[in-house]
Structure formats: C-alpha cells, structure tokens
Amino acid sequence: MEYRRADYTEIWISRPVVPLISFADRVLPLSATGIDLVGVGDLGIPAKLESTLRAFDSIVSWYGAAREEFRDAIQALGVPCTFLRALPPENYAGHATRFFCEQVGAPDALPRLRVEPVRPSPRIVIHPFSGSARKNWPLEEYRELAEQFDEGVSWIAGPEEQLCDAVRFDDLGALAQWLSGARLYIGNDSGITHLAAALGVPTLALFGPTDPQKWAPRGENVCVLRHQPLAELEVETVLESANRLLGLG
C-alpha cells in the first residue's frame, strides 16, 4: 500500500482540469482511478481501488453525490467518505462559490490562479461559445464587436467548437499560461470565462438566461452584462464596457 503522510492531500478530478491544480500533493484524472465505473451495472469495485480508498483518513466527494448507487457502493466499503452537493439548491441566495466554501468551512475568498505567462501574450481575447447555445451572444455580434478595436483580437475555441482561425488548446494549463497575459477577455457564461477571471485578466462576461448573482465569474477586475434575450444585447453596450476595462472609457 502506498504510504501517505498525515498532511497528504490527493485530488481526483476531471482530466481537463488536472493541469490547473497545484495545491495538492497528487492530482489524478477520475478516469485513471477507476472510480467512474463504481455503481455502474453489476461491476464490482476493483481490489486496487478499494485498497486506495481505504488508505485515506478522510474523503470528501462532490463526484457521485447525486447517484444513489454510487454512494451505496462507496459507503458499503466502510471508508470515511463525506458526500457534498455538487450544485447549490435552487433557493440558495448567494454565489455558488460561497456555497461550496460553506460546505467545507473555507473562507469565501476570490478565486486566484497563478501561472507563468507565456510571451508574446495576446491582447484582446474572445471566446464566443459556452456549454449551451442559449447562453451564447450571437457570433455575428462578436465579429462586429471585434472590428471596433484598434488592436488585434485573438479568438479561442474548444476542440469541438467550429470557428476558423481560432487558437485551440488541448491542455487547460497551457491555455491558462497563454491567456494570463491578455489585456482583456470577453466571453459568455462558460468555464473559460471563469478561468480568465481567476487568472486576474480583465474579464467581460455576457449573461442571458443564467443568474449572475449565483454563476458570474469572480475576480479582481470583472464586469458582467446581463440582457434577456441575450441576442438583443447591443454591440455598442458591450463595446463601452470593454473600453472601460481597457482603460479607454
């Protein structure tokens, strides 16, 4: 069995996020541990995984908290596992990060991710996508906005997002290093927008159906514009906010 110090911390998380975690002694993608197969059909818990889980003094899990069969399988091992809600309840009035901090008794501080920027750094970065089309300001509006800037605009997109000439990264750690030196980031309610804000990049987030009181990116220099329907948010309004963040307004 692998020896672990009393102050040893191990994080199991989705693979894309692994490069962003620097505070733990060890970080593993969930899929590499085998825990993603626990509670699936008649599959049993592999002996190696069971041994690993038993080696921890305490386990806190947001993963699988909503899956009864997963919780039952883990709890049947008798390991000290505490399951926490993966999402705030609908009637929760505060920001989601405050909810997660409250769950573990942590201070509600602004997230801050520190990385070493790469050179040359981009100037203005736009990511016009998100996990849901209904949260996206129209691409043609983003293009019109980009034409208003005197300096160059860099576009970013995920592996499955269709956008010609976009910069793409398979590794969120590399994306964070590239993005951290930008003068301005503009995007929808997406994970990349939260990443930009946590890096300390001046961030302009465009919100429509989701509630910024609960889901807005948090950072030292963040502006949120909410409009419903989002498609009717005017380019001039976005440009004014962008120029203020650039120190031009």
Residue 119: what pLDDT?
79
pLDDT bracket for residue 43 (50, 70, 90): confident
The CA-CA-CA angle for residues 40, 131, 87, to 5°, reads: 60
pLDDT at 228 over 80: yes
Q: Give burial (CB, 10 Å; 0-12/13-18/19+) of 200.
A: middle
pLDDT at 118 over 90: no
Residue 101's region, left for phi above 0, alpha for psi from -120 to 50, else beta, is alpha
DSSP 8-state secondary structure symbol assigned to residue 35: G
Q: Which domains does the chain have, with CATH numbers?
A: 10-86 (no CATH), 124-245 (3.40.50.2000)
How much is the average pLDDT of 143-166?
93
Tell me the per-residue pLDDT of 45-65, one tens digit each, with 9 for 90 and over: 889 999 999 999 999 999 999
